[in-house]
Amino acid sequence: MKTHSGYTAMRMIRRRHLLQGLLLLFILLSPLFRLTAEETKAPRDRICLWEVRSDKGTLYLLGSVHLLKEEHYPLDSRITDAYAGSDVIVFETDIGVLNSTEVQSMLLARALYADGRTLVSELPEDLYRGVGSILEQMGLTSEAFDTFRPWFVGVTISTLSMMQSGYNPDLGIDQYFYRLAAEEGKPILGLETAEFQIEILASMSDEDQIDFLRQTLDEFETVPDMMEEIVQAWRRGNVKKIDRLNESLDEYPSLYDRLLVERNGNWLNRMEEMLNSDETHLVVVGAAHMPGPDGILAGLKERGYRVTQF
């Protein structure tokens, strides 16, 4: 019965959307950050969109939020103009394959304990009680998730919390432009595989997974407010504010390297290839990848490209 309940729980959060949100959601689980007046200042007419030029080509770089509300549409015309002027649309991964049987099986295999362990046997008693209390508020039970690993339970709780607050994965920037490009027949590319994205969280140590789940519960009540702050920073192109989110990964240096540093480096190599082509690309990736010394913006500038924020 538990296995059936687990499958039901996974269907509730629509697994293809979970895959898209895994990486950004980890960052969102940081403690609610406090910003100084200087940090909250950003020109109101700026947005989370950049133009990157080389001697050969042009690339538009759009920071994404993976869950939004109806009220956040329509998008700024500068974003839709960049899409219209692009020949190829690029996402973190191939969104079209996220609902395939192969990817679903891969996710399930990495989300479940395969050695007889359960949440009851692995979690401290107080944490297990806390998980059960929050799941009960969502109309679920801890028993339904007993065979799932802590990282997956944490992501599930956060995703459902945001969805219950009105944030919809179907309205995320990635989904919006994927549907639009598919309808119009524009070429679509992914920067990395779904398997790679799953492994970033699934390969966390048991200790880190438990810490991750505990942090999820500690910040459960603040997630809607945090999302609102994130969306406002995104809408105003306030990269200083977005950069503060990355500080939450200081406690997980190896994950920070895999989540941001290594991926950004790989993406930069792909972007250079795009900038050396005759086609114009719109690259849509999580907004948290843009700022900071290890961010995509700094990386492009270090490689000699002209980067201009809209």
How does pLDDT run across 134-175, given as a tens digit for each residue? 999 999 988 899 999 999 999 899 888 899 999 998 899 999
pLDDT, mean of residues 258-270: 92
Element (H, E) at 111: helix 101-111
pLDDT, mean of residues 117-146: 94
**pLDDT band at 249; cut points 50, 70, 90:** low
Q: Which residues pair with 192 in a beta bridge?
A: 93
Instruction: Report yes or no: 294 and 101 within 8 Å, Cβ to Cβ.
Output: no
Q: Note every long-range contact of 116-123, with CB atoms under 8 Å and residues 24 or more positions apart, other chains counting.
A: 118/146, 118/147, 119/145, 119/146, 119/147, 119/148, 119/150, 119/153, 120/146, 122/150, 122/206, 122/210, 123/150, 123/210, 123/213
Q: What is the dihedral of CA 38, 42, 48, 52, to 10 degrees?
A: -90
pLDDT at 250: 67
pLDDT, mean of residues 89-101: 90
pLDDT at 19: 46
pLDDT tens across 22-51, in order?
Answer: 444 443 433 333 333 334 444 458 999 999
pLDDT at 44: 57
- Average pLDDT in the chain: 85
pLDDT, mean of residues 188-215: 90
Residue of 71 and 103 predicted with greater confidence: 71
Q: Note every long-range contact of 104-112, with CB atoms under 8 Å and residues 24 or more positions apart, other chains counting.
A: 104/15, 106/194, 106/195, 106/198, 107/15, 107/18, 107/19, 107/198, 108/10, 110/149, 110/198, 110/199, 110/202, 111/10, 111/148, 111/149, 111/151, 111/152, 111/202, 112/6, 112/147, 112/148, 112/149
Percent of the chain scored above 70 by pLDDT? 83
Write down the pTM of the prediction: 0.86
pLDDT at 41: 47
pLDDT at 124: 97
Residue type, 231: V
pLDDT at 15: 43
131-156 b/e (C-beta count within 10 Å ≥ 16 → b): bbebbeeeebebbbbbbbbbbbbbbb
> Which residue is it, tokens 């309940």?
5
The yes-or-no verdict on residue 226 having pLDDT over 90 is no
Neighbours of 273 (CB within 10 A): 10
**pLDDT band at 93; cut points 50, 70, 90:** very high
CA distances from 65 to 21, 136, 278, 287 (A): 9, 28, 29, 7
